[in-house]
């Protein structure tokens, strides 16, 4: 991970100062700073805005970063979140003002219906999906627990009949909502356990697999592994579980990336294009036309090298059977009737290689491409023009070695 840029460093320092100042205010106000649900929601939105802004600095996402300003900003956010949580719990613990049981029950019923069980995350796991699920699951659990507390208090106060005798809600409705809220709490906890087990199992697999990643797919595999490990780290922090294994896997990934980078650098120095088998200008022109044809999407390319000496001739026959009728006899034998067509494919081909630039990384890779021209074939075969046949992405090559 590159160093923090100067503008990002200034912003991190400013964010840390703002969050620490707000934390002091929150701790001083305590429960009185959250007099209503509207105040709670406003605090949540402000905290989320800080979280989203921190995510725009790449180094904040790097769990292995030791940059002092990154660590200070992370700590300021975590301390602020803890102080807000404590103030909210204090506000929840204060006795509620007497209220009309019917109005309270109507509010509880609406809240429970609006916060059902969220969909459990599924493979492939990623941090954005996990954050969205955790937010929904935590809110559902909070509403369910709060509802249970209120329902238990209303049931203990009395005043409700066992059956609906002119009241909007009776004791049966209270029991129904108690059962539903209790089920929600249990089901959310079950989801927590199931997802945590799945992520723990994934980390065990990464510990085994990451050291075995080798080119040419190592970088893609390591990117996927890092996303999974970062998701596991987030989940561990959110659930209050031990994040040690996730941190160890992230360090393992960083080590493997460094090892592969060193090995790749050494191998790249010795990677060159092959000697041409032919310098036929006509075929070089054909190859250039193919590699630059927009429909194939190769993009920027380097020198073209012919690796077959001559154009070769090929022929293949394929049969196609079109079923027109099916007859099933009494003993179960099936007879198919239809038309059989034989396609004769005849073509010329030659092969060439060329470096092609990856649009995402800017790196160059040697592609081996087969050029083909068909003189006969099936009803969808391009006849009489040179086209790209099989194209295979090969090893990386440095531009200076073209």
DSSP 286: H
Residue 314's nearest CA partner among 381, 220, 231 is 381
Q: What is the pLDDT of residue 140?
A: 92
In the block, residue with structure tokens 């723990």? 200
In the block, residue with structure tokens 């009728």? 325
CA dist 163 to 100, 167, 173, Å?
18, 9, 9
Q: The tokens of 119 are what?
A: 């969909």
DSSP count for the chain of H helices, then E strands: 10, 5
Q: The tokens of 3 are what?
A: 């160093």
Distance CA 182, CA 305 (A): 71
Q: The tokens of 243 are what?
A: 């994040």
Distance CA 74, CA 242 (A): 18
Could you tell me the sign of the dihedral formed by the alpha carbons of 79, 85, 90, 91, in that order?
positive
DSSP 382: P
CA dist 293 to 319, 365, 387, Å?
31, 18, 9
**Per-residue pLDDT tens digits for 13-36:** 888 988 988 888 888 877 777 777
DSSP 210: G
Q: Where are the domains of the chain?
A: 1-94, 99-269, 281-319+341-401
Residue 302's nearest CA partner among 216, 362, 364 is 364
Could you tell me the sign of the dihedral formed by the alpha carbons of 185, 186, 190, 196, in that order?
positive
Q: What is the pLDDT of residue 161?
A: 64
Distance CA 159, CA 366 (A): 81
Q: Do 147 and 181 touch, CB atoms closer than 8 A? A: yes
Torsion of CA 67, 22, 57, 48, to 10 degrees: 140
For residue 242, which phi and psi values (nearest 5 degrees)? -70, 120
In the block, residue with structure tokens 């309270």? 104
CA dist 344 to 55, 186, 338, 382, Å?
59, 66, 20, 13
Q: Do 298 and 359 touch, CB atoms closer than 8 A? A: no
In the block, residue with structure tokens 């001739």? 313
DSSP H helices, 30-120, are: 37-54, 58-61, 68-93, 101-114
The DSSP-derived string for 177-206 is HHHHHHHHHHHHHHHHHHHHHHHHHHHHHH
Q: Strand 312-328 to strand 334-357: parallel, antiparallel, or no bridges (unpaired)?
A: antiparallel
Give the chain's radius of gyration (CA, Å): 33
Q: Please list the ranges in the chain whose pLDDT falls under 50.
A: 1, 97-98, 321, 323, 326, 328-332, 334-336
């Amino acid at each position: 991970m590159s160093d923090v840029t100067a503008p990002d460093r200034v912003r991190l320092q400013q964010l840390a100062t703002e969050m620490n100042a707000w934390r002091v205010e929150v701790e001083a106000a305590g429960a009185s700073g959250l007099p209503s649900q509207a105040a709670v929601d406003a605090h949540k939105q402000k905290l989320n805005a800080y979280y989203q802004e921190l995510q725009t600095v790449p180094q904040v996402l790097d769990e292995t970063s030791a940059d002092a300003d990154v660590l200070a900003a992370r700590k300021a956010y975590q301390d602020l979140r803890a102080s807000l949580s404590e103030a909210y719990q204090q506000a929840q613990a204060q006795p509620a003002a007497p209220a009309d049981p019917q109005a309270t029950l109507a509010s509880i019923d609406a809240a429970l219906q609006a916060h059902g069980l969220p969909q459990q995350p599924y493979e492939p796991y990623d941090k954005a999906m996990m954050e969205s699920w955790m937010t929904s699951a935590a809110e559902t659990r909070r509403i369910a627990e709060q509802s249970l507390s209120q329902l238990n208090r209303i049931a203990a106060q009395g005043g409700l009949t066992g059956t609906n005798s002119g009241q909007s809600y009776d004791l049966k409705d209270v029991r129904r909502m108690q059962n539903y809220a209790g089920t929600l709490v249990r089901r959310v906890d079950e989801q927590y356990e199931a997802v945590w087990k799945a992520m723990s199992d994934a980390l065990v697999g990464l510990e085994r697999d990451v050291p075995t990643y080798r080119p040419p797919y190592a970088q893609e595999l390591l990117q996927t592994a890092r996303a999974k490990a970062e998701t596991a780290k987030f989940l561990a922090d959110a659930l209050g579980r031990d994040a040690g294994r996730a941190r160890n896997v992230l360090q393992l990934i960083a080590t493997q990336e460094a090892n592969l980078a060193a090995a790749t650098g050494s191998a790249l120095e010795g990677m060159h294009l092959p000697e041409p088998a032919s310098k036929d200008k006509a075929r070089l022109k054909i190859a250039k036309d193919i590699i630059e044809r927009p429909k194939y999407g190769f993009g920027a390319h380097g020198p073209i090298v012919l690796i077959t000496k001559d154009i070769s001739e090929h022929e293949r026959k394929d049969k196609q059977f079109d079923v027109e009728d099916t007859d099933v006899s009494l003993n179960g034998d099936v007879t198919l009737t239809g038309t059989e067509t034989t396609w004769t494919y005849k073509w010329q081909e030659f092969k060439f290689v060329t470096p092609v630039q990856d649009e995402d990384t800017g790196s160059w890779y040697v592609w081996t491409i087969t050029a083909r021209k068909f003189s006969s074939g099936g009803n969808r075969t391009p006849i009489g023009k040179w086209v790209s046949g099989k194209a295979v992405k090969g090893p990386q090559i440095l531009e200076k070695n073209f």
